[in-house]
A and B are shown apart, each in its own frame.
Chain A
Amino acid sequence: MSEFVIIYFALLVIASCGAAYYGQRPAFLTLFSLTLVSFVLGIVGGVSALQFVAIAAGLLAFAAGISYSFREFLVAITKGNLSKELKTAPLTAAFGMFVIFTYAIAGIFAPFIAPYGEAEVIAAAFAPADENMLLGADQLGRDMFSRLIYGARNTVGLALVATSAAFFMGATAGLLAATKGGWFDQFMGRFADVVMSIPSLIFALLMLSIFGPEIHVIIIAVAIIYAPRVFRLTRAVAGNVVVMDYIEAAKLRGEGTGYLIRREILPNATAPLVAEFGLEFCFVFLLVAGLSFLGLGIQPPTADWGSMVRENATLISFGVVTPLIPAAAIALLTVAVNFVVDWMLFRSSGLKE
């Protein structure tokens, strides 16, 4: 029995007693079942299994704490309705917002945060971490941590631009199709059907093989691949708005299509469109990361998460986890955006069950 095991069980038992005393039924059930499970785990997996549980629980508690404080912070600095809405946000959504906020800071202020340049060779290849390099060096001896920070700017930036392009094209076409109808609507609908029936990664690879892996090609390819999804949603949402009486009234007033779209339809279609932008961003981000993992995305020496994983993958066979950090960064941002989108969809649709 090591000290760790004694402290571990003592803490669990005290915490479950506390929860039971103060009548916190779910907390008590969770804590006490964790205690029981830990008995079995401790016997089967030994101390290391318990340490793993403790670290996982600690991380979870830390994330929950940060999310809670970040939500309270947001509530404190906003006013009125927004503040009220934020108060009801679940912790997962707050966590998502915190992560997005962190990435944004890292991306915008990358040159000030990163200790070295993204293409600067400062050490031997695959040098281990020391006091200069937080995460060690990559396959050419560049600082991994600096490249990770710059990656936030390059990878996320590319995904954002590509999503915006897809969104702009899709939303414009969708709004026009809903207001104009007729042959334009039909044509765009069929076009969207065809594009959506080609698997996205395959279509992207086809375009990249023809036009070469350049940044503008990636942006255009992604825009063409994902615009049809936005088109369909926008058309459906705007289609519901177009039949309203106030649109009829605006048309009778003699307003043009541009006014109708900007002043009447868009304000009533914002909520689902914003949520769709988030979802779309996730898809685009994963596609772009996949492409750069295949060596067809942002080209070196520009730092990029997908290609960082590929270039340093050999380290994994030696049991080193650093190459997984950029991959984890991709996953974390996607999860964060999904959490926020989930909350927004829940709010706008009012789904209760």
Chain B
Amino acid sequence: MGTLLFLIAKRLFLGLLTLLVISVIIFFMVELLPGDIAEAVLGMGATEENLAALRKQMGLDQPAPVRYLNWLSGAVVGDFGTSLISGERVTTIIGQRFMNTLFLAAYAAVIAVPFAITLGVIVALLRNTLFDRVANVVTLTSISSPEFFLGYILILYFSVQTGMFPAISSLNADMTFLELLHRTFLPALTLVLVVTAHMMRMTRAAIINLLASPYIEMARLKGMPPWKVIVKHALPNAWAPIINVVALNLAYLITGVVLVEVVFVYPGIGQSLVDAVSKRDFPVVQACCLIFAATFILLNIAADVGAILTNPRLRHPK
């Protein structure tokens, strides 16, 4: 048990270290601006006094490492400073939106994960048949399509032509849960389509990789039906790669959400990021980037820990 905990702790530590390095990158990239933030905000026509006043207000008169530490200590407790454009706290701008984004990603994940794994197992069972070929082409198309393409096709069919679901996901606080699910169905479905294809292909590959193993041969030789060979013998050993793929795709969901949110005008953090980028509102950009990167790394750690936990060789060290 000791080595297992040690492995997990080591992985967590490495993850935190990576996050720290990324926070350094995110913070100091803004320092690379020609001039500084004050000049970028005020533009060409700024007077010297205005610049000096803004620099003082933003604390730019302090050296960069000090500002980095201030920023980081604020970020740890959820305080990312104030927006350059609206003057609001960044936390108030993105707080609720982050919850919305998490909701959308969770919604998509709840549908996509069981669906993808079941389909992956079925396709592995029916490998090299017509069904498998068709599934291969369909999933490849789905992976290769930009998210906005799928999103607009869904809008065209489900909302413009049949009117079943709204094209724009406007949310408000007093909606019932069912209404919420209905409103956000199309963006969630877009994400499901993108992610399912990938997860399904990887599940298929993970299972088929194992089919050459001697114990599968043995199971076949003793007369087990093919579906039982896969479900009972191949699947348990494929869990590690499958968990890995699931976690990676969930991480992808968190970022793929940016384009989908823009298509469906969904009030999420991805949209605030895009707005902030085009307005060059650096505190918001930094906050969003850090949140996305942290989620991404967290899910990557989860993938590794999951792989460690499902590997019996690591659970029972010699």
Contact = CB atoms under 8 A, between A and B. Distances in A.
Interface stretch (B64-72, B101-109, B227-235, B271-279): B271-279
A290 interface: yes
Chain A contact surface mostly: helix
Given A197-B22, A353-B127, A330 B292 contact: no
Contacts of A209: 276-277, 280, 282, 285
A198 B293 contact: yes
B80 interface: no
B222 to A, nearest CB: 21
A208 B276 CA distance: 11
A210 B87 CA distance: 19
Contacts of A201: 255-256, 258-259
A211 B30 CA distance: 9
Interface string A286-302: 10011001111000000
A331 B161 contact: no
B152 A316 contact: yes
Interface stretch (B47-55, B141-149, B182-190): B141-149
A293 B211 contact: no
Contacts of A23: none
Nearest to B129: A26
A282 B198 CA distance: 14
Nearest to A313: B152
Interface in B113-151: 127, 130, 137, 140-141, 143-149
Contact of A210 (B22, B32, B254, B274): B32
Nearest to A310: B148
Interface in B259-318: 259, 262-263, 273-274, 276-278, 280, 282, 285-286, 288-289, 292-293, 296-297, 300
Contact of A290 (B30, B147, B161): B147
Contact of B144 (A194, A210, A306, A338): A338
Interface in A302-351: 306, 309-310, 313, 316-319, 321, 323-324, 327-328, 330-331, 334-335, 338-339, 342
Contacts of B286: 206
B160 A319 contact: yes
A30 B130 contact: yes
Nearest to B133: A92
Contact of A317 (B26, B140, B160, B300): B160
B77 interface: no
B297 A197 contact: yes
A205 B285 contact: yes
Contacts of B21: 194
B255 A199 contact: yes
A255 interface: no
Given A201-B258, A294-B259, A334-B145, A206 B289 contact: yes
Interface string A195-216: 0011111110111111100000
Interface residues of B, number: 56
A72 interface: no
A290 B148 contact: yes
B156 interface: yes
A193 interface: yes
Contacts of B92: none
A316 B160 contact: yes
Contact of A286 (B146, B156, B160, B282): B146
B208 interface: yes
Nearest to B277: A209
Contacts of A324: 149, 152-153, 156
Interface string B140-176: 1101111111001101100011000001000000000
B291 to A, nearest CB: 9
A34 to B, nearest CB: 12
Contacts of B263: 313
A282 B140 CA distance: 12
Interface in A229-244: none
Given A194-B25, A202-B289, A316-B155, A335 B255 contact: no
B152 A309 contact: yes
A335 B144 contact: yes
A353 B273 contact: no
Contact of B296 (A199, A207, A208, A317): A199
Nearest to A334: B144
A43 to B, nearest CB: 20
Contact of B29 (A200, A206, A295, A353): A206
B33 interface: yes
Contacts of B277: 205-206, 208-209, 294, 296
Nearest to A287: B146
B148 to A, nearest CB: 5
B245 interface: no
B278 A295 contact: yes
B251 interface: yes
A211 B276 CA distance: 14
Contact of B259 (A211, A290, A328, A338): A290
A200 B258 CA distance: 12
A331 B29 contact: no
Interface string B17-45: 01001100110011011000000000000
Nearest to B34: A211
A206 B280 CA distance: 10
Given A201-B255, A294-B274, A316-B152, 13 more contacts: A26-B130, A194-B22, A199-B292, A205-B273, A205-B289, A206-B289, A293-B259, A294-B259, A316-B156, A324-B153, A331-B145, A335-B145, A353-B212
16 contacts: A26-B130, A199-B292, A199-B293, A202-B273, A205-B277, A206-B277, A206-B285, A210-B33, A286-B144, A289-B146, A290-B258, A293-B148, A296-B278, A330-B149, A331-B145, A334-B145
Interface of A: 26, 30, 92, 193-194, 197-203, 205-211, 282, 286, 289-290, 293-296, 306, 309-310, 313, 316-319, 321, 323-324, 327-328, 330-331, 334-335, 338-339, 342, 353
Closest 7 CB pairs of A and B: A334-B144, A327-B149, A199-B255, A331-B145, A209-B277, A335-B144, A202-B292
